[in-house]
Amino acid sequence: MNPVTPIHTVLVANRGEIARRIFRTCREQAISTVAVFSDTDEHAPFAREADAVVRLPGTSSVDTYLRGDLIIAAAQRFGAAVHPGYGFLSENAAFAQQVLDAGLTWIGPPPAAIAAMGSKIEAKRLMRSHGVPVAPDNTVESLEVVGLPALVKASAGGGGRGMRLVRNHDELADAIVSAEREAAAAFGDGTVFVERYLESARHVEIQVLADSHHNVIALHERDCTLQRRHQKVLEEAPSPAVDGDLRVRMEAAAVAAACAVGYVGAGTVEFLLDRDGNFWFLEMNTRLQVEHPVTEAVCGVDLVALQLSIAEGHAIPAALLVEVPLQGHAIEVRLCAEDPFNAYLPSSGVFHTVAWPAVPGVRVDSAIESGSEVSPYYDSMIAKVIAHGATRADAVRRLTTALAGATLHGPTTNRALLLQLLAQLCAVDGPGGPGIDTGWLDARAPGVVPPPDALHVAAAALALVRARAGAFPIGWRNNPSQPHAQAVGDHVVQYAFDRAGSLTTLIVDGEPQTLDTHTRDSLSRIPTAVVGDTVYVARGAFAFVVPPRFLSPDDAGRAGSTVAPMPGKVVALLVAVGDQVVAGQPLLTIEAMKMEHQVVAPHAGTVSEVYVQPGQQLAGNQPLLQVAPA
């Protein structure tokens, strides 16, 4: 019998929603919790919820959440077991070994298993030797052998970071340099490799669970095909593309992969699946996945609780060894602070109001609450929203209700895109539909942001008018006059009130609106909130910035210059004063939220001024350089 060592305290070597999710299970099991936090995260919800906190001085990941020595010292102080969450040090074999060497409990797989799967290059060689299907030539770094299209990938990471798609030979060198830089910043390891990119494939992964008593099981599959730039957007279980026979074969391959490395704990084996039912090993994530809640929903388990139990030395529950349930359908979407209608640029700032409706079957794992600030230093994901229903359509309906009914007053999010995807998911990827693959979303630009209708614009303007009027009568005048005008965003609303405060005139962008009972009732039902110079409408579905009456000298002085689209750091300056550029030519590269973003020339011309330098930290809308038109 293996010894059982009870866990009394858990330190989560992570942040945000995953720290809160782990804390939740710990509280349910009367286990005390310790949070580590960077200076940026001092007031974050996860830090407030922990029973004890330890500061990691600094703001960047390298100075804080990647400092294994500081984290281990904090765990020793409290005698805490260490749960790594995902990202950061979660798949760092050296860190796992250091935790064990310090006499602490590691809530994760053995360091040797992490090391075996930590290098994607070596992992695929190992899997091939154990009979797990592996795509041909995908561990060879010669592009001539791999062929095109090819994928440059970070050997030590995931989540789409350090990954570049190459479709012609001329792109390879730049793709490798960029991927190496991004991988080093995100994972502390800039090693990359090149593999063949499989077109029209689905991304299907198997959740595995293993204990120290030599039991290994599969908890069915998750479908993570809906991705943008190799980052998952929507995950679901079970996969609509997997039948019973295929499920058995994929689960057998996943269990073989786990056995090959002597795995213990929760892990995920990822595969690419083609339309003919062939599948190939992609990688193994030796940690908890972001999308683990959909497996919890359909299997009726708590994966974090199982991780804790296995780390204590217990065996997998006997009922799961006999049969793993598969009930209903679950879908998860990742809510991110980014603008999908503007090249997915990250956004940061304060969320003034965050509120979620109570919807049966819906769970929200959120990093933020009202008053939370989203910084540019970490990942852009701010919440996971999970819905479980009897069918796929049922889960879609519940998830749509929760997303649409949420109040999000703050930075731009991808909510509108998620709602668009849910609206077409069953039709596009259901029976009779064309189906999707990992490149489906990237091949279909989101287009333009869904525009507000006239009543939303009017509601914004009237909310601002009422907020500014305070206790005084709205728009009251002694004599008849022309309607008042109020600008909100790019719109102008003209209005007039009678002496009783009733609206008598409403003109939106030059179009008169009929003020009948339906219009007045609809206006009164549209929720609005005025925060500073921004009016939020329809629970944050639309945000209108109120333009200033007078242009400041600073704004006037930077006319014609490019500005930082988000807070971040300059990692590469690609032009100099005097250079001739064409419209769309990359000018510099900014790193924000662990991803790199290029700023391009707005028009052809000559670079006349450069205001920044490599390594400089930027504020949003900060002038970068000026291009004098040709």
pLDDT at residue 482 above 80?
no
Can you give the CATH number for the domain in which 188 is found? 3.30.1490.20
Mean pLDDT computed over every residue of the chain: 90
Sign of CA dihedral 87, 89, 91, 92: positive
DSSP string of 566-608, one letter each residue:
SSEEEEEE---TT-EE-TT-EEEEEEETTEEEEEE-SSSEEEE
DSSP string of 419-434, one letter each residue:
HHHHHHHHHHHSTTS-
What token pair was written down for 88? Answer: 């950061």
Percent of the chain topping pLDDT 90? 66
Q: What is the pLDDT of residues 374-409, one digit of tens each?
A: 998 899 999 999 999 999 999 999 999 999 999 999
Confidence of residue 159 (pLDDT cuts 50, 70, 90): low
Establish if 512 belongs to a structural domain: yes
Percent of the chain topping pLDDT 70? 92
Confidence of residue 457 (pLDDT cuts 50, 70, 90): very high
Q: What is the pLDDT of residues 170-197, one digit of tens each?
A: 888 888 888 888 888 777 788 887 877 7
Q: List beta partners, residue 626.
A: 561, 609
DSSP string of 201-256, one letter each residue:
-EEEEEEEEE-TTS-EEEEEEEEEEEEETTEEEEEEES-TT--HHHHHHHHHHHHH
* Alpha-carbon radius of gyration of the chain: 26
pLDDT at residue 274 above 80?
yes
Pair 541, 560 in one domain? no
pLDDT at residue 413 above 80?
yes
Q: What is the pLDDT of residues 10-31, one digit of tens each?
A: 999 999 999 999 999 999 999 9
Give the per-residue pLDDT at 146: 67
Q: How far apart are CA 250 and CA 134, in angstroms?
A: 12
Establish if 119 belongs to a structural domain: no
Establish if 459 belongs to a structural domain: yes
In this predicted structure, which of 533-537, 541-545, 622-626 has the lowest mean pLDDT?
A: 622-626
Give the per-residue pLDDT at 479: 62
Higher pLDDT, 352 or 450: 352
Give the per-residue pLDDT at 556: 38
Q: How far apart are CA 311 and CA 22, in angstroms?
A: 14
Pair 254, 323 in one domain? yes
pLDDT at residue 314 above 90?
yes
478 membership: H or E segment, kind and range:
none
Pair 224, 363 in one domain? yes
Pair 508, 391 in one domain? no
In this predicted structure, which of 41-55, 74-88, 89-103, 427-441 has the lowest mean pLDDT?
A: 427-441
Pair 150, 275 in one domain? no
Sign of CA dihedral 258, 263, 264, 268: negative
Sign of CA dihedral 103, 109, 112, 118: negative
Pair 218, 288 in one domain? yes
Q: Mean per-residue pLDDT for 406-424?
A: 96
Give the per-residue pLDDT at 141: 46
Pair 622, 584 in one domain? yes
Pair 390, 248 in one domain? yes
Q: What is the pLDDT of residues 505-519, one digit of tens each?
A: 999 999 999 999 999
Pair 520, 563 in one domain? no
SS3 397: helix
Q: How far apart are CA 297 and CA 292, in angstroms?
A: 9
Pair 465, 518 in one domain? yes
Can you give the CATH number for the domain in which 230 is found? 3.30.470.20
Give the per-residue pLDDT at 620: 66
Pairing, β 329-336 against β 150-154: unpaired
Q: Domain count of the chain? A: 5
Pair 211, 258 in one domain? yes
CA nearest neighbour of 460 among 553, 527, 535: 535
pLDDT at residue 628 above 60?
yes
Give the sheet arrangement for strand 81-83, strand by strand: 52-56, 32-38, 9-12, 81-83
The DSSP call for residue 149 is: S
- Angle at alpha carbon of residue 58, lines to 54 and 63, rounded to 5°: 95
Pair 253, 210 in one domain? yes
| Alpha helices by DSSP H, 323-479 | 392-405, 415-429, 454-469
Q: How far apart are CA 492 and CA 482, in angstroms?
A: 15
Question: Among 87, 107, 127, where does a domain finish?
Answer: 107
What token pair was written down for 180? Answer: 């190496």
Q: What is the pLDDT of residues 279-301, one digit of tens each?
A: 999 999 999 999 999 999 999 99
Establish if 434 belongs to a structural domain: no
Q: List beta partners, residue 231.
A: 228
Question: Among 429, 446, 472, where does a domain finish?
Answer: 429
Question: Among 88, 107, 126, where does a domain finish?
Answer: 107
Confidence of residue 256 (pLDDT cuts 50, 70, 90): very high
pLDDT at residue 252 above 80?
yes
Instruction: Print the domain residue range for 175.
Output: 136-196
pLDDT at residue 609 above 90?
no
Establish if 114 belongs to a structural domain: no
Establish if 479 belongs to a structural domain: yes
In this predicted structure, which of 103-107, 172-176, 486-490 has the lowest mean pLDDT?
A: 172-176
Q: How far apart are CA 163 and CA 194, in angstroms?
A: 10
Can you give the CATH number for the domain in which 31 is found? 3.40.50.20
pLDDT at residue 138 above 60?
no
User: What pTM value is reported for the model?
Assistant: 0.84
Establish if 538 belongs to a structural domain: yes
Determine what percent of the chain falls in helix, strand and coil, rounding each to the nearest 5.
30, 30, 40
Give the per-residue pLDDT at 144: 57
Establish if 237 belongs to a structural domain: yes
pLDDT at residue 619 above 80?
no
CB 118 within 8 A of CB 286: yes
